[in-house]
Chains A and B, each alone.
Chain A
């Protein structure tokens, strides 16, 4: 299994696409950082969004939060969806999948290895965003404690020292990365359903976009709690409301449920599939 993981990782890591993603995931936080710097003197009017941007100029340790907030909703979704959905379909499109199975590599083991490598890359992408924002933030704003102003809806203001900020950044990054687990499972399943990588990627990202749209329709009620995107932003309460919300735990449980259901479906389907590519 270790050898298989290594070969799959080598294949993924040496792609030009991986280099482009890396550049993008370092470049975009840098751009956002400069935007934060440029808007540092403007007043906050929305504590859930713009406020985090404005406060970020107080300390480089707070910069990863708004950057993650901006990038986790779409760009990281697209990247994670691409990585997951391309895992099997990419090899199939090259015609290389059948030769791996002729080696022979057991189908279940191959799928798990591909999903693990895709998962590691998704985590790496999320950590890279956070790390780029943190390093850039520290260089531009330094490391200081942050005082969050009171907001009418919530309790009064609060103060986070450097250690607390670092810890919450780490938790937020891990939560965002784990929040793509359902995407990973869905993408892997779609990847086994087609030999065309672009179709699998389109379907995976499409499901997430639809989920985000439907999640915004309040009339759907509690059904929205089961959407894979519903709890993606739960981590922001750590910075806005000074608490670790239970929604984060529920969000993790939802992701695990998607992993079990769609991961199992992917394995069962792939084991039975006729390999014609």
Chain B
């Protein structure tokens, strides 16, 4: 047993010839978290997920699920619902037959599967009995979600689950992920769509060129990389209060409020200082979104010592 983490990656390396697809990567996902794995194309996200699912062997290091080391076709995978890259099926069979054969290939009867719940999520109606080769990409993705939910998984591992979907379908999938998380599932979601991660995930792991750049909560990443906008009832008094606060780099006026540049301060400290000074706090929010923080992180050195506060530094192999 490694620890209580649902997912734990330790000193992971994956090499293809001379290329390091993943380099000394360590992170963990705790039970109940909805964790985004962010990175540009080629960051090593999919390779990491493939190693986690036992589809690829690590060159060095290890991956653990539910505290046990992952090996190819590990029985631990019955507790996981995974969609690695696009949902794929046997094209000449119907959606329903695909689900049935996939489930029964594992040696269990369809009676043991959450068929009704999965089919409700697929929402394919009569199309479920059509050959999959006639499906749109969106229909395949929905059928893919139905498949991964058949076993009532404790952990969802989703690799770019909204690729090829229209805005309405993306919203449906996002709401589905949040609903499943509320029901207790742990989610590891790989994406390069920052807004998707921002709206879905509580935790974020940022990768670039195979390495961990930062890890933390979304608000930590956003807050760590920039400044905060504050509106109070007495702007000038607040300005003097905040200017003397530790972790504050600069305070400037903007519109009706103040923009506070943080070195390493936290928004909660700012709020506490304002309230403590007897001021009424109207608004406090980051001046930038995850996209700004993400780009800021990628501009920094990809050695795990990026500017993110509380970024996890991977152990050396």
Contact = CB atoms under 8 A, between A and B. Distances in A.
B149 interface: no
The listed residue with most A CB atoms (<10 A of its CB), out of B73, B89, B101, B104, is: B73
B131 to A, nearest CB: 10
Contact of A276 (B50, B77, B101): B50
Contacts of A103: 77-78, 102-103, 105-106
A91 B101 CA distance: 13
Contacts of B80: 102
The interface size bin for chain B is 20 to 34
A104 B75 contact: yes
Interface stretch (B54-62, B177-185, B294-302): B54-62
Contacts of B147: 99
B77 A274 contact: no
B56 A276 contact: yes
Interface residues of A, number: 30
B88 interface: yes
Contacts of A11: 90, 93, 101
Contacts of A94: 88-91
B135 to A, nearest CB: 13
B84 interface: yes
A272 interface: yes
B73 A105 contact: yes
Interface in B54-100: 54-57, 72-75, 77-78, 80, 82, 84-86, 88-93, 97
A99 B102 contact: yes
B218 interface: no
A101 B54 CA distance: 8
B104 A6 contact: yes
A98 B103 CA distance: 14
Contacts of B251: none
A105 B106 contact: yes
Chain A contact surface mostly: helix
A100 interface: yes
A224 interface: no
Nearest to B101: A7
A157 interface: no
Contacts of B168: none
A96 B55 contact: no
A95 B106 contact: no
Nearest to B53: A102
A95 B89 CA distance: 7
A274 B56 contact: yes
Interface in A250-275: 271-272, 274-275
Contact of B55 (A3, A6, A274): A274
A99 B106 CA distance: 11
Contact of B105 (A3, A107, A271, A276): A3
B57 A272 contact: yes
Nearest to B57: A274
Contacts of B103: 103
Contacts of A6: 104
B107 interface: yes
Interface string A1-28: 1011011101100111000000000000
A96 B56 contact: no
A3 B108 CA distance: 8
A104 B104 contact: no
A106 interface: yes
Contacts of A101: 54-55, 72-73
A99 B77 contact: no
A272 B54 CA distance: 11
Nearest to B100: A7
B107 to A, nearest CB: 5
Nearest to B74: A104
B92 A102 contact: no
* 9 closest residue pairs by CB, A with B: A95-B88, A104-B77, A274-B56, A275-B55, A7-B101, A104-B73, A103-B106, A106-B73, A7-B105
Interface of B: 50, 53-57, 72-75, 77-78, 80, 82, 84-86, 88-93, 97, 101-107, 147
Given A11-B93, A95-B86, A271-B72, 19 more contacts: A3-B104, A3-B107, A4-B107, A7-B101, A14-B92, A91-B90, A94-B90, A98-B53, A99-B147, A100-B102, A101-B72, A102-B80, A102-B82, A103-B77, A103-B102, A104-B75, A104-B78, A275-B55, A275-B56
27 contacts: A1-B107, A3-B105, A4-B105, A6-B104, A7-B101, A7-B102, A7-B104, A7-B105, A10-B97, A11-B101, A16-B92, A94-B90, A95-B88, A96-B89, A99-B147, A100-B102, A101-B54, A102-B77, A103-B77, A103-B78, A104-B77, A105-B73, A106-B73, A272-B57, A274-B50, A275-B50, A275-B55
